[in-house]
Amino acid sequence: MRIVLAGLVLLALVVPSLPAAIKQPVKVDGGLVSGAPGKDPSVTAFKGIPFAAPPAGALRWKAPAPLVAWKGIRKADSFGPSCIQTIAKERKPWTYEFMTHGEISEDCLSLNVWTAAKSADEKRPVYVYFYGGGFNEGSGAVPVYDGEGLARKGIVVVTTNYRVGVLGFLSHPELSAETSPKASGNYGLLDQIAALHWVQNNIRAFGGNPASVTIGGQSAGGMSVHSLIASPLAKGLFHRAIVQSGGSTIGGAGISLGGRNLADAEKDGLKFAESKGAKSLAELRAMSWQTLTAPAGASASPAPMLRFSPIVDGYVLPAAAQQVVIEGKQNDVPVLTGQNTGELGGLMAPQARMTAESFAKQARQRYRDAAEEFLKLYPAATDAEAEAAQAKSSRDQAMVAMYLWAQQRAKTAKTKAFIYLWDHTLPGPDAAQYGAFHTGEVPYVMNTLYMSDRPFVAADRKIAEMMSSYWANFIAAGDPNGKGLNRWPEVGDKKEVMELGDVTQPVPLAGSDARFEFFKRFLTR
C-alpha cells in the first residue's frame, strides 16, 4: 500500500518527534515483550501479543484458554495472524486500507498496543477497539485501525483479534452439553472479554490506566460493544463505550441487539454439521478449517444459508442486548454512538434510482395505512422531488430511531449518551457514488488518514483533527467536548442530533414535530 508522503510530512510538522521512553522489555502475562517505534518515534507499538492459547484442535469452539508462556524476550514488532476468514484486497466502497491482509490462522488470539507514555505510571486512558466485518471478517491489523493517531493524543490504544464466522459463533447441542453453563456459540465475544481481562492485568505496564478503559467498534464491532454492555461477564472491565454504525436504534435493530436464541442456533449448528457430513462434534473438530469454511458444493451436501453472529445463550448474553437495557441490568457506562448519511438507505450505497412512481409504491408497501400521511409529509410530484424526499425521509427515520433508542436507554441508565450523524464523503474516484459510506468515518476518528492513498486535502485533515479530538476527549472523560470544539450536547428532551464532518453542529432530528411523531408511531408500534 502506498502511503501519502505529504501526510507523513504534515504529521511530523504538527507533532514534535520525541522518543518514547517506556522501559523495555515489558513484562506481560506470558513473558517479556519488546516493541518498535511507530512512524512517529514518540509512539511505541507492541504488535502480536498473545492473550490466550491458540483455539485449535481440542480447544476449537471453546472459551479462550490461558496462554502458553514463552521464554526470553518476544519481539512484538509485527502483527500476528488474523482469524480464519476470506481475504479480499478490496470490496468497493472499501479499498485496501479497510481490509484484512496477510496471514490467517486459528492461532490468532493476539492484540496490539500503541503508547506514547514515557513511563509505566502515567495512567493514560485506554481505548480497546473491536473491528467490524459482519462477524465474518476483520482484524486488529486493518490499516485504518492503526493506533498511532490516537496514541499521539494521549490515549493508549489496543486493537484485538477475535474469532469470526463458523469458528467464532457456531452453536451445537454437543458444544452446549460439554460446558458448565450449558451454552455455546459466542466464542468471538468470549475472546473480546478475555482481551479486556488482559488489559486489566497488563495495561499499566504500557502507561495505561485499567480504571479508565473505553471499548469501541464499528459495525459488527459496535454490535459487539452493545453485547458487552449487556453481558454480565464483562462487568467492571470497561468504563465508557463507543458504537459506530452498530445498531443503536429502535425498530430494525442490529444483529447483536436482536440476537438468535440458543435453541435456534443449535438447530442451525446441526444443519451445518450435516452439510459437512459430520455426525458428531468430534468429527467437526477433526476437520481442517479449510473444509469447515468451504463454500456450498464443496462439502457432503449443500451448506445451509447461515449467518454466524452473537446469540442469546443465557450465559454471555442473558437476553437480547436491547432487552437487558430495558430491564436495567446493563453495564451502565456513558455511550457515544451514531451513523453515517451514506448508509441510511442501506449499507451498500448506491441505491436504485428513485422515481415519483417507485417512491409512492415503496411508501404504500412500507407504511400501509399510514402511507398517505407519509406522502403528505414528504411530497414528491417529480422524479427529482422523489429522490430528495427519499434521502430526507431515510435520514429522518434513522435519526428518530437513534434518538428513541437513547430515550429508551435513559429510562434505566444513569450515564450520559451522545449521538451523531456523520456527513463527510471520503475523497477518491468513487466519492460521488458512495458518499459518506459505512466505515468512511473510521480514518477520521482514529486519526489515520496517513494509512490511505486517497487525495486528502486540508479540509480532510482539519476534520480528522476535530473528530479524533472528540473521540479522545470521550475516551478520557466520557464527554466528547473540549477546548476549540463546537459544543456537542448530550441526549436530552431536545429533539436534535450532532451532525459531524462538513456540518458540525446540533441539528433538528426530522425538521418538524409532525414528521417526528409519524416515525415515532411507526417505530414503536
Catalytic positions are 219, 343, 438
Percentage helix, strand, coil for the chain under 3-state DSSP, each rounded to 5: 40, 15, 45
C-alpha cell read off for 161: 483479534
DSSP secondary structure of 499-519? EESSS-EEEESSSSHHHHHHH
C-alpha cell read off for 420: 451523531
User: Phi first, then psi: what are they for 69, rounded to 5°?
Assistant: -65, 155
C-alpha cell read off for 173: 447441542
Which class for 353: exposed (0-12), middle (13-18), buried (19 or more C-beta within 10 A)? Answer: exposed
Q: What residues have CB less than 8 Å from 487, skipping those under 6 apart?
A: 481, 506
Please check whether residue 109 is in contact with residue 51, taking contact to mean a CB–CB distance below 8 angstroms. yes
Residue linked to cell 427519499: 390
C-alpha cell read off for 230: 449487556
Cα dihedral: 9, 10, 13, 15 (round 10): -110
User: Phi first, then psi: what are they for 244, rounded to 5°?
Assistant: -105, 115
Rounded CA-CA distance 220/200 in Å is: 23
Please check whether residue 126 is in contact with residue 151, taking contact to mean a CB–CB distance below 8 angstroms. no
Cα angle 375-376-379, degrees, rounded to a multiple of 5: 65
